[in-house]
Structure 1
Amino acid sequence: MGLLKDIRSDLTTYNGKWGEQGFWVMLVYRYGRWRYTIQNGIVRKPFSLLYHVSYKMVQIMTGIELPCEVPVGKNFRIDHFGDIIISGYASFGDNCIIRNGVTVGLKNIEDKTAPQIGNNVNIGAGAKILGNIKIGDNVDIGANAVVITSVPNNSIAVGIPARIPKKGPRN
């Protein structure tokens, strides 16, 4: 029942628009997470095969790579599709929005740590968030920003490399 509840919640996040590419990605993501609840490895194998085929199909159709190993919070939204890559080592809090061209991943291949994204984070188109960093709660990351250092709560990050100017009250 957890799978259906998560899918209903995702559909609500997408305003009931089941045709949104981001929703398709979340549907496959939720299924991938759910298959790990099957304890018997032999029974799980066909479900895993279906997940891997579905994952690759959705990745090709949408240009979005969101492995089921990534923990994401409630109301995770992929607002625009295409060219989105998320490392399996990353994590996201609640109410995060990402847009097209976003990469959340490793800074270098030897370091298997990726960003930990907090709650209420808005990531602009083309942003790159890389390395063993933490993005705080209530953060806005500007379009095309390259974030390679941690960002504190209630901040914005803009530029290449990203700088963190003072942020006014959130509307």
Structure 2
Amino acid sequence: MFNNLREDFAAHQRDPWRQGVWVMAVYRFGRWRYKVRPALLRRPLSLLYKFLKIWIQITTGVDLPCETRVGRRLLIEHFGGIIVSGDTVIGDDVTLRHGVTLGLRRTGVPGAPVIGDRVDIGAGAKILGPVRIGADAVIGANAVVLCDVPAGALAVGVPARIKHRQPALQEAL
């Protein structure tokens, strides 16, 4: 837990006032509490987590449940309006901006997004349903992604269209 917290802190430019640091600290605490044995000791930690999660939702506008599988160094670039489903899987070095939704397409229908490593998700983007976003992909601002995005591709528009980036452009990013 503490190694992940150090990496999360470094990803947020070692600034304790960035709300993404707070969100990640509560998320990592929520994941860590599952490892506490016996259950009698875990119960007060679970209660504390629930209060902290509600406090984080109110103060930052980010809903990141501990059931979500998050890789290392998730960067929450801008806070506010970020909703992540508990079934979502997020890879390493992913960037989220404000207004992003990663979740189910419809209530009661299983399947949440799987986000690859080093994915950059623009402001207001919605990634819905059992879609896979490949490594190094870029999701444009306000894109609504309902289908898989291959590695290194760009998804833009409503619904999102997949555009393959030029090799020189990929290196510049």
Same fold at TM > 0.5? yes
Paired with 1:48 and 1:11, the residues of 2 have a C-alpha distance of 23
Deviation at 1:9, TM superposition (A): 1.3
The AA in structure 1 aligned to 2:43 is K
Deviation at 1:166, TM superposition (A): 2.1
Paired with 1:75 and 1:6, the residues of 2 have a C-alpha distance of 7
Does residue 58 of structure 2 align to residue 60 of structure 1? Answer: yes
Deviation at 1:91, TM superposition (A): 0.6
CA shift digits 1:9-41 (9 cap, x unpaired): 111111110110111000000000000111211
CA shift digits 1:115-163 (9 cap, x unpaired): 0000110000000000011111110000000000011111000000000
1:77 to 75, 78, 83: 75
Paired with 1:10 and 1:119, the residues of 2 have a C-alpha distance of 15
Paired with 1:5 and 1:141, the residues of 2 have a C-alpha distance of 29
Deviant stretches of 4+, over 2 Å: none
User: Any stretches of 5+ residues in structure 2 without a counterpart?
Assistant: none
Match for residue 158 of structure 1? 156
Greater share of residues in strand: 2
The AA in structure 2 aligned to 1:116 is V
Match for residue 49 of structure 1? 47
Match for residue 167 of structure 1? 165
CA shift digits 1:94-119 (9 cap, x unpaired): 11001000000000112121000001
Paired with 1:157 and 1:77, the residues of 2 have a C-alpha distance of 20
* Mapping 1:5-154, distance limit 5 Å: 5-154=3-152
Q: The residue matched to 1:160 in structure 2 has which SS? A: coil
Say how many residue pairs are matched.
169
How big is the alpha-carbon RMSD for the aligned residues of Structure 1 and Structure 2? Answer: 0.7
Paired with 1:106 and 1:72, the residues of 2 have a C-alpha distance of 17
CA shift digits 1:24-66 (9 cap, x unpaired): 0000000000001112111100000000000000100000000
Deviation at 1:92, TM superposition (A): 0.6
TM-score (norm 1): 0.97
TM-score (norm 2): 0.96
Deviation at 1:74, TM superposition (A): 1.2
Kindly indicate whether the alpha-carbon contact (under 8 Å) linking 2:143 and 2:157 is maintained by their aligned counterparts in 1. yes
Deviation at 1:83, TM superposition (A): 0.3
